[in-house]
Every structure is written in C-alpha cells, then in structure tokens.
Amino acid sequence: MIIRKSVSSLTSDEKASFVHAMLELKRIGKYDAYVGVHHHIMTPTVMAAEPNDYRYRNGAHRGPAFLPWHRQFLLLLEAELREIEPTLSLPFWDWTKDAVNLDPTKTPAVWADDFMGGNGLSSDNWRVQTGPFAHKNGKWPVPEYKYPNFPSGPGLKRQFGMILPSLPTAADVKLAMDEIFFDTPDYN
C-alpha cells in the first residue's frame, strides 16, 4: 500500500529518493511529456457566451474536472516515478501551515535546498538558484519560452509572491470545500 507523507516529515533518504526519481524522469524525457499533457489540457472548454481564454476555464481547471483530472494525472506520474524508485510515494504539502508562518527566515520544507530548491533570483531572470533543480546544476533543462509578463531565457524559474500574494489559508480551503455546486442547472 502506498502511504503519502507530508513534505515536512520526509527523511533525508526519502527526499533524496524523490529528487533522484524526478531528475531521472526528466533525463529520460518522460517528465516533459507530463508538462506537454498539462499544457494541452489548458485549451479553453467554454460555452459560446463565455470568454475563449484558457485562464477562464479549460479541461482541467476552474471546472468540475479539476480534482479527478489532477488525481489521475498524479497517479500516472507517481507510477512512472515508482518504476525508477519502487518505494517512492508522492509527498503532499499542506501549504496552509506555511501560509500562517510568521517567521520569514524559515523556509518551508518543500522549498529547502535538499528538496525542490528555493525561489528564483530577479537579476538572473528568476532562475532557481538553489537545490537539485537549480539552473546552474544543468540537470533540469527547461527551454526558453516567450510568454507575456514572464521572464525569458532557459532554466526553471520561480517568482514567489508574484502571481498570488500569499499561500491559501485554511479559511480559503474551507471556503472552497463548502462550495456546493460543480455546475448549475441545466448543467450545460
């Protein structure tokens, strides 16, 4: 049975196993296929009167398919990772605990240097500077993309706090969980 653990409770060996599997999946080209699938599902799936914009709603986001689509997506990713590291399970991150962290010097476990690495550096086009996925390590190649309002140049980029000013809180999660309808009558 696969048991999910919080990122904050992973042992050093479990972190290393996860990082190794992710780097290997990237090296053999399978990780990029997941990026492609996630990108292509963002084709707008809107009704005639709705905006034809991927940010409004698409096959996997902002609609009733969000949870089941991502659940299946992650199960497939986990199965591929387990082919590399058979004892691995995808960890989870309870961001609500870090959303209320009042100590700005404390880095959440998910962004630690021995796991996913930290934020990008503005003077380096927001490329990730620390951890195993840092651009300087050369093990996580990301091609240059030209998106509006997004830094250009190759490499994994992160801009903490730029799109969302803060992490969702427990109150935000409760609000989402209290939502009653996936859709409204006449369910079109």
pLDDT for 183: 63
- Dump the DSSP string for 19-75: HHHHHHHHHTTHHHHHHHHHHHTTSB---TTS---TTT-BTTBSSTTHHHHHHHHHH
Backbone angles phi, psi at 170, to 5 degrees: -60, -35
Query: Consecutive 10-residue runs of the chain (188 residues): their mean pLDDT?
Result: 92 97 96 87 69 68 81 96 96 87 70 93 91 93 71 80 80 85 62
CA atoms of 58 and 44, how far apart (whole Å): 4
| DSSP string over 72-106 | HHHHHHHHHHHHHSTT----B--HHHHHT---TTP
Q: What is the pLDDT of residue 38?
A: 83
**pLDDT value for 39:** 79
Quote the pLDDT of residue 147: 63
pLDDT at position 154, please?
A: 83
Q: Model pTM?
A: 0.83
Contact between 125 and 93 under an 8 Å Cβ cutoff? The reply is: no
Closest CA to 126 of 5, 83, 53, 117: 117
Enumerate the domain spans of the chain. 1-92, 96-188
Burial class (CB in 10 A: 0-12, 13-18, 19+), 54: middle
